[in-house]
Structure 1
Amino acid sequence: MIPSRSDWTKALEIRHGKSLNEKFSKSTVAICGLGGLGSNIAISLARAGIGKLILIDFDIVDITNLHRQQYKANQVGEQKTTALSNNLREIAPYISLEIKNTKIDEDNLEELLLGADIVCEAVDVAETKAMIANEVLTHMPDKYLVAASGMAGIGSPNEIITRKITKKLYISGDGVSDVKNSIGLVSPRVMICAAHQALTVLRIIAEEFDL
Structure 2
Amino acid sequence: MKIFVNEIEREVEKDISVFKIKDIFNKCSDVVVLNGFPIKKDEILKENDRVTLIEKGKKPSMNELESLMIARHTPKVYEKLKVGKIAILGLGGLGSNIAISLARIGVGKLILVDYDVVEPSNLNRQQYFIDDIGKYKTEAMKEHLDKINPFIDVEIHNSYITKENINFLHEVDIIIEAFDDPNCKAEISNFVLLHMREKYLIASSGMAGYYDSNIIVTKKIREKFYICGDFVHEAKEGEGLMAPRVAICANHMANLASKILIDYI
**Structure 2, unpaired ranges of 5+:** 1-58
More off after superposition, 85-94 vs 7-16:
7-16
Q: Any idea what SS the aligned residue of 1:163 has?
A: strand
**Could you give the per-residue CA deviations for residues 122-152 of structure 1, whole angstroms, max 9, x where no partner exists?**
0011111111111111111221001100100
Contact 1:26 1:50 in 2 (8 A): yes
Verify: 1:112 aligned to 2:183, yes or no.
no
Verify: 1:7 aligned to 2:60, yes or no.
no
Contact 1:29 1:119 in 2 (8 A): yes
Give the whole-Å Cα distance in 1 for the aligned partners of 2:61 and 2:102. Answer: 19
Which residue of the partner structure matches residue 167 of structure 1? 223
1:144-159 matched pairs, under 5 angstroms: 144-159=200-215
The higher relative CO (CA closer than 8 Å, separation ≥ 6) is in 1
Contact 1:5 1:94 in 2 (8 A): no
Report the Cα offset of residue 9 of structure 1: 3.0
**Could you give the per-residue CA deviations for residues 102-125 of structure 1, whole angstroms, max 9, x where no partner exists?**
00112112x131311001100011
Verify: 1:142 aligned to 2:205, yes or no.
no
Give the whole-Å Cα distance in 2 for the aligned partners of 1:14 and 1:157. Answer: 26
Q: Any idea what SS the aligned residue of 2:160 has?
A: coil
Which residue of the partner structure matches residue 53 of structure 1? 110
Q: Any idea what SS the aligned residue of 1:206 has?
A: helix
Contact 1:57 1:80 in 2 (8 A): yes
Which residue of the partner structure matches residue 28 of structure 1? 85
Contact 1:31 1:119 in 2 (8 A): yes
**Could you give the per-residue CA deviations for residues 178-206 of structure 1, whole angstroms, max 9, x where no partner exists?**
21154300100000000000000001112
Identity rate, percent: 45
Question: Is the radius of gyration larger for structure 1 or structure 2?
Answer: 2
Which residue of the partner structure matches residue 207 of structure 1? 263
Q: Any idea what SS the aligned residue of 2:236 has?
A: helix
Verify: 1:44 aligned to 2:101, yes or no.
yes
Letter in 1 for 2:142: S
Give the whole-Å Cα distance in 2 for the aligned partners of 1:201 and 1:183. Answer: 28
Which residue of the partner structure matches residue 74 of structure 2? 16
Give the whole-Å Cα distance in 2 for the aligned partners of 1:117 and 1:5. Answer: 28
Give the whole-Å Cα distance in 2 for the aligned partners of 1:2 and 1:77. Answer: 34
Which residue of the partner structure matches residue 10 of structure 2? none
Cα 1:190–1:14 shift into 2, 3 Å: closer
More off after superposition, 5-14 vs 61-70:
5-14
Which residue of the partner structure matches residue 22 of structure 2? none
Contact 1:71 1:84 in 2 (8 A): yes
Which is strand-richer, 1 or 2?
A: 2
How does the TM-score come out when normalised to structure 1? 0.93
**Structure 1, unpaired ranges of 5+:** none
Give the whole-Å Cα distance in 2 for the aligned partners of 1:3 and 1:134. Answer: 46
Root-mean-square deviation (Å): 1.6
The correspondence for 2:185, drawn from 108, 129, 134, is 129
Verify: 1:188 aligned to 2:248, yes or no.
no
Give the whole-Å Cα distance in 2 for the aligned partners of 1:29 and 1:128. Answer: 19
Give the whole-Å Cα distance in 1 for the aligned partners of 2:129 and 2:98. Answer: 16
